[in-house]
Structure 1
Amino acid sequence: MKLKHLVVMSMMTVAAGCTSSHQDAQTTFDKYPVYDGEWEEMVYAPSVTKFSLWAPTAQEVRVLLYEKGQGGSAYRMVKMEPASDGMWQARVDEDLKGKFYTFNVKIDDVWQGDTPGLLAKAVGVNGDRAAIIDWGATNPKGWNEDKRPLLKRFSDIIIYELHHRDFSIDTVAGIHNRGKFLALTEEGTKTYLGEKTGLDHLKELGVTHVQLLPSFDFSSVDETKLDKPQYNWGYDPKNYNVPEGSYATDPYKPDVRIREFKQMVMALHRAGIRVVMDVVYNHTAIIKGSNFERTVPGYFYRTDDEGKWANASGCGNETASERPMMRRFMIESVCYWAREYHIDGFRFDLMGIHDIETMNEIRRALDRIDPTIYIYGEGWAANRPQLPDSLLAMKKNAPQLPHIGMFCDEMRDALRGPWNDESKGAFVIGRMGHAAGVKFGLVGGTAHPQLSVKHAAASVQSTTLADSLTEDSLATVKAERELHFWATQPDQLISYVSCHDDLCLADRLKTTLPGLSEQEMNALAKLAATAVFTSQGIPFWYAGDEILRDKQGVVNSYKSPDAVNAIDWRRKTSHHDFFDYVRGLIAMRKAHPSFCMGDASLIAKHLEFLPTPASNVVAFRIKGSPAGDSWLNTVVVLNARTEPVQVNVPEGRYWIACRDGRVDNVLGLGTLTGNVLTVAPRTAMIVHQ
């Protein structure tokens, strides 16, 4: 993750509750009581509403009641009484349905300021006041019968990352609720040229999971000014347990955003698509004035050795997942989304900031709800976190995080080039020395007998072309020597070539090869897509890349206007060939378990890398028919060179499923007999027996 939101706090001295010493502050926080009862801040019934707030350092706490979600003064103040383990409680014996409330905490004789609480689940416009609503009225018709689409195993997952506004704001899409949750409920939407858009596009593409960029209540969009264009990715959390109001048709009515979010989930489920939320527990939009800091100052954030706010997120702060009540907050939050909103998975932003124990506790808690709920995240941080590396949910600690996936930047960078140099390409543009990273992703990041220093050196010595002992071969040996097989099982590795961060696929190709023609870009993009969808890891695709979306070369478009970020649905017609190719790869993967064996021992046994006659070529064979696949001895060749190559394969008759930029895994593209595959320049070839 890069710097994603508008507010980047300057470092500050630690507020009340911390000392100038990092160690002393931690010792102080360790003494805070841990509440283990049912954690609900507001429980409504027509006869009584009960309020609770965990504020262990407070002298006084009060609840203020309002008629509206914004503006006006409180019409009543209710004093809260201390209870056990830092909890404060109050009750109001009347029907408060439709009212709004805030908490205010007094510490060291200073009132900290109003907040909707830590766990607000319904709020008014802009999320400044929590709302008292009838939860039964938020369920759309059929919600109680909503079921998660069938998922037999994590290795069957195919993820599609989208931003609500990007996906549906273009008027060409024919979507009525543009930029809203409800956009993903509309069926039958098409462009004026008849191309399917929206929900029907997702069904046509064939993905299994949609990953929604932050959809909780975030700070950067003013919900009172939605008549004016506003844009943000939403990585600036405000209220973690409430849907974002700018994606609702009426942000002033607390029940509307809740009901419409559920309608969206239900529509996707009915389409056979699971829903993943992008969650950002690693930092908040601000510190001073945040719900955390106004309730229990200092507790929810880490500090450095000088007592200043730590900044592993690159956004001004980092949360302290290792502290018991922050850990519980995260667990309660994801479980709430899974139960109340039927969410099927969670993508953790900068997961490497969180500690291993917290992530494993989240995994166990979700397993008790439904073990098919998938968890994955970024196994890194923007800056160095305040915990030792050995305690963090980083890639290198993946063996301690079973059934938690992580993005494979090794494969991403090997395919398209490094994240910190947009002008530098890699394998798909023919740059030498990146085959090892591609192979790493193809085996799902699991240990493979052919990916070793010994094997790399042998492959250099055995090759026949003169250029094999050049920079490319030496780079390959070095890369394979440095490979760290961090995944214990392939469901821990997310294979991808682009995402919302950095350039989209088309822009990256244009940047690394200036003057690239549309035909050349199409070919290179197909090569990258083939690697992603034949990887034994879990494939991940950025929305719009299947029609080669264009973001005008903007690298970090977190607040760029629709003119940059919106998917131009006319491109589905002009780039339909590429869309068909990606759709074909997805259909092939779903139909043939050889591409998603789901077990490291099976991959080591069945996936064999074949000798190639030149650099910038990767070839592998899946021996036999793993998991009873109807295809036998499947061979995949990725040729990034500008001339044809010939790859030796075992003698036999082969059916062609992919060749010359076309995919057809049902009828096929013909047959060939012999022991040599001739693969055209900058294309992939897939054959089977």
Structure 2
Amino acid sequence: MLWTLLFRPLIEFYQPEADAVSLVVEKQDEAWPMKPDGNGNWTTRLRLPFRQLHGRAYHFEVRRAGRTYAVADPLAPRTERGAHGIGSRFSDLSYRWQTRRFKAPALCDLVIYEAHLPALSRHESAAVHEAGHRGTYAGARAPAVLAHLKRLQVAVEFLPLHASDGLLGQDWGYFSTSFHAMRDGYAHDKCEVNREVMAVVDAMHHRGIPVILDVVFNHGGELWVKAWGKDVVYRKHANGDFCHGSGCGPTIRSEHPRIRELIIQTLLHLVRDYRFDGFRFDLGALHDKETMLAVDRRLPAHLYLIAEPWALGGTQWGKADMHGAFAGTRWAVWNDDFREAGKTFVSGRGSHLDRDRLMRAIMGSHVDDGGWACRPQQSINYLSSHDGRTLADFLDGDKRRVFLGMLLVMTSQGVPMLGEGSELMHSKHGHDNSYDRPDLNRIDWRNGDAHADLVEAVAGLIALRKQAPHFRYTRRLAQRQHDNGRWDIDWIYPTGYPHHDNVNAIGYIIKPPRESSVWRWRWPKLVVLLNGSTVGANFRLPQGEWKIIVDGDGLRVDADGIAGVPPARTDYHVHGGTGVVLAPA
């Protein structure tokens, strides 16, 4: 581990079974002997000025049981693969930040935009004209890219940026070789990879865009294994066989005290030096509960913590723990219940069971409503991500249904997430696992012109969500029970229910969380009507006049009412594959 104290770097290396450890630095004739601290760590402080170390290769020389080994630093700030494997290099982590104090919004106010960093600028339409900048950290700072993200008012969640050398032909980077270093394959100048990552975060913060990083601590970790061995790093079954819960090699043993501490120290490093605003744990259910709880306890309180609550096998917890072990934490999880029910609904293939499941998800998947959450913000609601088909591909290029899907996500309780390029009708030509297809993953920004109406509507929809507290509850919603008692949401079924029901259509009336607020006077109620079927659906409206503020058929959003559309009274007809939001006229 590298610390910069008074410009005299302190080097620390955990090697409890070593007889002796020395530090070998490029361009130095002699190795520096390291001293044990009694806790398994070996340390030394260099006499060289820090600026002279930047970029130099180094490794540890470990003597154990009569043999000598050369070991790369598993916590090196920069790594590089050479003829003899992965090596470690010193790196200056100083950076002149343009945005010194960035305050990310509360989780309930967030709209997440999952993105693969190089895909943002690989296509020529990204207007990245500098030589060698396409598909790089520098390309992600292209004016056109930043302007689009700022217009959407989203928080960007990047797929992994950890050091990875493309094993198995990867494009996404889900097989990390080092968790402390950043991937230099995305750098324009590999010697400056750290500062290039910082520049991306800085540029986004300057435009009000929070940055979340996808971290993959469940498998991989080549440098950890070389430093401490498989028996320390990887989990085993009772019979001694290694666990394989990720489908990408042995599962990392997060419950080992040293591994748990390394995970936490790596996250603190990413916050301190790179200023990420939160983390999404890939296959988070493979980590033991105590590690997840320790991450919540020890990381700064302003950070977002998100996890996938599943794995291929060997899970240590699940969504039910969100109202159990994790109830008092800030952990949120991807909601596959929302995803599956939502996809069948917007494609018009749902059943009564699917609609019931969707209604629970719309209300935040609360455990008392048949779900698993104890508050809406524990649920990350989405229909598409890097895994699986894009929303446009899943819906066969039907733009209005794509907007219906995003309308469903934005008007549901919880935290909405959009897959990269959904608002651009991004297509992977039906491919559902593009981990090794950079040609399919890249974003064609020309679609912003071809589908300008959709982009404008999605931007307006996000702005409406941020404006209206009706969709950002932080507690369980009370459903209307007949005409008695206080209520937050009242369901509206299409005409014909229950005997001639359209199971792919549903609507509801929703109040703001606090009726004493200003919204009691402007929008005391909103009406959301969603129709995923292939035929139109009629809904009975509450008494009064209602103006249309979201028109899914015309792809228009206006909080003051859609121009030229008269107020609705009594009934409203929603075309198949569309949805609307109405407010008091």
**TM-score, normalised by the number of residues in structure 2:** 0.89
Letter in 2 for 1:542: G
Question: Any residues of structure 2 matched to 1:297-336 within 5 Å, and which?
Answer: 297-336=230-269
**Equivalent-residue separation in structure 2 for 1:297 and 1:611 (angstroms):** 57
List per-residue Cα deviations over 1:534-580 (Å, max 9, x = no partner). Answer: 11110001111111111122211111132x11111121122222222
Match of 1:523 among 400, 403, 407: 400
Match of 2:58 among 81, 90, 101: 101
- 1:148 aligned to 2:102? yes
Match of 1:213 among 145, 156, 159: 159
- The alpha carbon displacement at 1:346 in A equals 0.5
Secondary structure, aligned partner of 1:685? strand
Given the superposition, is the C-alpha separation of residues 365 and 234 from structure 1 closer, same or farther in structure 2, using an over 3 Å criterion?
same
**Equivalent-residue separation in structure 1 for 2:67 and 2:167 (angstroms):** 30
Letter in 1 for 2:525: N
Partner of 1:668: 561
For structure 2, list consecutive stretches of 5 or more residues without a partner in the other structure: 481-486
**Equivalent-residue separation in structure 1 for 2:404 and 2:431 (angstroms):** 23
Partner of 1:476: none
Question: Any residues of structure 2 matched to 1:59-208 within 5 Å, and which?
Answer: 59-67=19-27, 75-95=29-49, 97-98=53-54, 99-115=56-72, 117-124=73-80, 128-135=86-93, 138-140=94-96, 142-143=97-98, 145-151=99-105, 153-176=106-129, 177-187=133-143, 197-207=144-154
Partner of 2:286: 353
Partner of 1:641: 533
**Equivalent-residue separation in structure 1 for 2:425 and 2:298 (angstroms):** 39
- The alpha carbon displacement at 1:496 in A equals 0.2
Match of 1:685 among 560, 564, 580: 580
List per-residue Cα deviations over 1:361-395 (Å, max 9, x = no partner). Answer: 211222xx3x221110101112224xxx4xx3x21
- 1:441 aligned to 2:361? yes
- The alpha carbon displacement at 1:414 in A equals 1.3
- 1:428 aligned to 2:358? no
**Equivalent-residue separation in structure 1 for 2:4 and 2:80 (angstroms):** 17
Match of 2:334 among 395, 407, 419: 407
Contact 1:158 1:540 in 2 (8 A): yes
Letter in 1 for 2:217: Y
Letter in 2 for 1:685: V
**Equivalent-residue separation in structure 2 for 1:529 and 1:92 (angstroms):** 55
Match of 1:398 among 317, 322, 335: 322
Secondary structure, aligned partner of 2:383? coil
List per-residue Cα deviations over 1:156-182 (Å, max 9, x = no partner). Answer: 010001111111110112023321112
Letter in 2 for 1:282: N
**Equivalent-residue separation in structure 2 for 1:204 and 1:665 (angstroms):** 16
List per-residue Cα deviations over 1:56-113 (Å, max 9, x = no partner). Answer: 122333322224xxxxxx8543333332111122344344523321124344445454
Given the superposition, is the C-alpha separation of residues 581 and 616 from structure 1 closer, same or farther in structure 2, using an over 3 Å criterion?
same
Given the superposition, is the C-alpha separation of residues 310 and 572 from structure 1 closer, same or farther in structure 2, using an over 3 Å criterion?
same
Given the superposition, is the C-alpha separation of residues 603 and 318 from structure 1 closer, same or farther in structure 2, using an over 3 Å criterion?
farther
- The alpha carbon displacement at 1:642 in A equals 1.7
Secondary structure, aligned partner of 1:128? strand
Given the superposition, is the C-alpha separation of residues 632 and 243 from structure 1 closer, same or farther in structure 2, using an over 3 Å criterion?
same
Contact 2:363 2:477 in 1 (8 A): no
Given the superposition, is the C-alpha separation of residues 585 and 271 from structure 1 closer, same or farther in structure 2, using an over 3 Å criterion?
same
- The alpha carbon displacement at 1:41 in A equals 4.3
Contact 2:10 2:45 in 1 (8 A): yes
Partner of 1:190: none
Question: Any residues of structure 2 matched to 1:237-316 within 5 Å, and which?
Answer: 237-251=176-190, 253=191, 256-284=192-220, 286=222, 290-316=223-249
**Equivalent-residue separation in structure 2 for 1:175 and 1:599 (angstroms):** 44
**Equivalent-residue separation in structure 2 for 1:658 and 1:524 (angstroms):** 14
For structure 1, list consecutive stretches of 5 or more residues without a partner in the other structure: 1-39, 68-73, 188-196, 223-229, 417-425, 452-482, 511-517
**Equivalent-residue separation in structure 2 for 1:537 and 1:320 (angstroms):** 31
**Equivalent-residue separation in structure 1 for 2:65 and 2:337 (angstroms):** 50
List per-residue Cα deviations over 1:318-347 (Å, max 9, x = no partner). Answer: 112122111111111111111211111101
Letter in 2 for 1:243: M
**Equivalent-residue separation in structure 2 for 1:149 and 1:125 (angstroms):** 37
Letter in 2 for 1:185: R
Letter in 2 for 1:130: S
**Equivalent-residue separation in structure 2 for 1:415 and 1:160 (angstroms):** 18
